[in-house]
Structure 1
């Protein structure tokens, strides 16, 4: 009965007054749905937020979340999915198709997204002739140190959306922004393919912990 009440109260408040009136703990309680025999869902949510405040919750791993009483595998997955969904909603509001972007604008945005992620990711932002967004897509997810990428997949998408040019972005889980030998070789390969296909590689950005490097601005992409 207590577990049902803990969830029903936030639900009723949500229906009556809107999601913006709920506390952080109430929102998390709705995602957890139930508590334990000793704690309500709201108490579990409050405990979770004590250990992982909102500014750190996104970086919590699944096994770390499951160490909290009342948070099993399914609830941990629900929390991670909700965080990712919220992030994508925010991005969709920020990146509107048709928005004209620059390397600087993209670098700041991708720094917010990728800083602190412990797996290397390669993203592509595909643009038209006016540098307006056609598509933003995560192209590859690699290990801590490498991303197994091939230009074929990059340009397959570029052709599908009729892109005139594109910008690549990838993160260094180490937090450093220095371009590796592999980074430079891969960039040269993609640039050469783009020249053959008439689809220009405008820039390749490397995201670190609190900064990013533009290969174009640094003279490593001509």
Structure 2
């Protein structure tokens, strides 16, 4: 490990993270070197590289992306400015995962739902029930969070779901929720609420196209499983 008291400016130019990024690209840098560029500076006791190494010894990149600024500021050497820099970088990364150039992205499959919602749902410690209101071409009109439940339960009523759909003049809807446990296998309650939404949709003239359950790096489609 580098001497903590050596300033990055005192390192040879070809060894400095910024210079290496410019010469060889960001992919040539380690996680700690990339984080040191984000942090920009270290402290009187350690340079930015050593500070980044210490941060990553406490939290791996995935864990670091999930903690908030208050938790970040509990790390020695990380104050408000650096905490905000870290949080901002991960938020941009999350938005990039769901970015589409089309103002009204189209949903063609459960995988489309998963890719859109997973970057946010993977960090939720509570079940979050989300509704996608779609037009006749299955383009997203609006995305709404209908309810946020407990660690392992989410209570939602059909009237809340279809109230939103009616307000958006939706032709179809897709609903989704996460399982904080990481296992997307549906519970008995998940199947029951799906059936209720299907029946209510028939009465309201708004089809429920799917109910997607999102777990850790995987998902479950009620439609593909034959529950819709």
TM-score, structure 2 as length reference: 0.70
The 5 Å alignment of 1:105-184 reads: 105-111=112-118, 113-115=120-122, 117-184=124-191
Tell me, what secondary structure is at the counterpart of 2:91?
helix
Greater CA drift, 150-159 or 212-221? 150-159
Could you tell me which of 51, 58, 64 is aligned with 1:57?
A: 64
Residues 1:219 and 2:226 aligned together: yes
Cα deviation per residue 1:60-118 (whole Å; 9 max; x = unaligned)? 46565344221246744553344224312431237751434222432355455534642
* Structure 1 position 163, deviation (Å): 1.4
Residues 1:90 and 2:97 aligned together: yes
Contact residue 133 and residue 141 of structure 2 kept, 8 A: yes
* Structure 1 position 180, deviation (Å): 1.7
Stretches of structure 2 that go unaligned for 5 or more consecutive residues are: 1-5, 10-15
TM-score, structure 1 as length reference: 0.71
Greater CA drift, 122-131 or 23-32? 23-32
Tell me, what secondary structure is at the counterpart of 2:66?
coil
Cα deviation per residue 1:139-162 (whole Å; 9 max; x = unaligned)? 333221122433344333323332
Stretches of structure 1 that go unaligned for 5 or more consecutive residues are: none
Cα deviation per residue 1:152-196 (whole Å; 9 max; x = unaligned)? 443333233321101111111112222223222322333333222
**Structure-2 change in CA distance of 1:103 and 1:182 (3 Å):** same
**Structure-2 change in CA distance of 1:117 and 1:70 (3 Å):** same
Equivalent pairs, count: 215
Please give the root-mean-square deviation of Cα atoms over the aligned residues, in Å. Answer: 3.9
